[in-house]
Amino acid sequence: MRALQCAQFGAPSDVVQVVDAPLPPAPEADEVTVAVAYASVSHATRLLIEGRYQSKPPMPFVPGTEAVGHVVACGTAVTRLKAGDTVMALARWGCYAENITVSAHTVYPLPEGLSLLQALPLPLSYGTAYTGLVWRCALQPGETVLVLGAGAGVGLAAVELAVLLGAEVIACASTPAKRAEALARGARYAVAPDDDFVHNIKAMTAGRGADVVVDPVGGDLFDRSVRAAAQNARILSVGFASGRVPQAPLNLLLVKNITLHGFFFGCYLGWTPQDERVAFAPALQQAMHELGHWALQGRLRPTVSAVFPISGLIDALAALESRQIVGKIALQMTPELLDNQPPRI
C-alpha cells in the first residue's frame, strides 16, 4: 500500500516520502482496519514530523492523526462496528496511508447521508471544541465566549458549537475573510488580533470581558486575552499555533479569579501514558454521534477547503501556514474520487 513515511525527524520536505509500505497487521480483538479515503492536515502535523510534538513515534513512522474511510476488518471483540461501515478514525499517528489498523474505541460510524469530507473535521476539531467547552468549561447558555484563531480548525468549530449551545460569540481571526466566515457561522462580533483587541472585547461586553476564552493560538494573543477575560472567567488553552508557548500572568489570574484549563484532547483518546481511552470511550462515542447528527442536520458546517493528493503534504502544510485556509485541509489517500469534494490542488 502507499503511505507517507518518515525515517527520521526533520523538515517535512527533507524527511517525508511516499513509499510502498507493508499492509498493516490484522486487527487484534479490540481493533479494526480502516481503508483510508482522506486524512486531515493540521499544525500538529509539522510538529510531529519535526520531533517537536508532545509524543514521539518510533522510527520509521507514518504521520496523520485523523481520517475517514471504510472498515475492512474487525477484531473478534468488536461488536459496535462491522466491515463496510463508513467511519471517522483517530490515531496517534499512521493515518497517512491507504490502510490503518487502530483501536476500535476511537473509530466512530458516520450517520447515513453524511459525506466523508463533511465528516473529516468532526472527530479532532469539533471533538476538541465540544469536550473543551462542555466537559471542561461547563459552558452555560447566555455566556460570552471569545474564540481565538476563529477562522480554521478548532477555532471555527468552537464558534459554531458555542453558538449552537446558546452562547454569544466574539470571534478573533487574522484576516477579513476569516472574520466574515466566523460571522456567517453565527458569531455576533468579529475582531482582529491587533493593538485594540482588549479595548474592543471590553466594549462589546459592556466592560465585563469574556466568560470563556478558547485559545488554540497562544503567544501574544493569550497575554491579551487574560486582560480581555471577565471576573471568574475560564480560559481553555488548546494549543500554540502562534509558535510561542506563553507564560501565564498568575497575578492577573489571581485577582480576576480566572480558571486556566490546560486541555489535551488526546487524553480521552489514549495518547497519554495512562491510556484512558477505554474509560472515556462511551462518553466520547456519544459526543461523536451527536456531532455527526448536528452536521447532518446542517446545524454544524464542517468544512474542508482544499484536497491534496497523498504526495502533496508539503504544499498542504504551506497552504495551512499561509493563514488563508478556512476550515481544514485534506490529503486524499487513494487516487479515485471517493466523494464529492473541493477541487484538488
pLDDT at 20: 95
Q: How many Cβ atoms are within 10 Å of 241's Cβ, its own excluded?
A: 24
Tell the residue number behind the cell numbers 494573543, with chain if given.
Answer: 221
177-225: pLDDT as tens digits = 999 999 999 999 999 999 999 999 999 999 999 999 999 999 999 999 9
Instruction: Tell me how far apart the alpha carbons of residues 41 and 61 are, in angstroms, rounded to a whole number.
Output: 16
Q: What confidence category does residue 341 fall into, taking pLDDT thresholds of 50, 70 and 90?
A: very low
CATH 3.90.180.10 fits 125-263, yes or no: yes
- Note whether 141 and 166 are within 8 A (CB): yes
Per-residue pLDDT, averaged over 279-295, amounts to 97
98-142: pLDDT as tens digits = 999 999 999 999 999 999 999 999 999 999 999 999 999 999 999
Q: What confidence category does residue 339 fall into, taking pLDDT thresholds of 50, 70 and 90?
A: very low
Q: What confidence category does residue 336 fall into, taking pLDDT thresholds of 50, 70 and 90?
A: low
- Model confidence, pTM: 0.93
Q: What confidence category does residue 345 fall into, taking pLDDT thresholds of 50, 70 and 90?
A: very low
299-330: pLDDT as tens digits = 999 999 999 999 999 999 999 888 777 889 99
Helix axis angle, 43-50 to 313-321, nearest 10°: 120
CATH 1.10.10.60 fits 2-121+269-332, yes or no: no
pLDDT at 338: 46
What's the DSSP call for residue 70? E
209: left (phi over 0), alpha (psi -120 to 50) or beta: left
Retrieve residue 225's grid coordinates.
Answer: 486575552
For the chain, the domains span 2-121+269-332, 125-263
Burial of 79 (0-12, 13-18, 19+ CB in 10 A): exposed
Element (H, E) at 306: strand 304-309
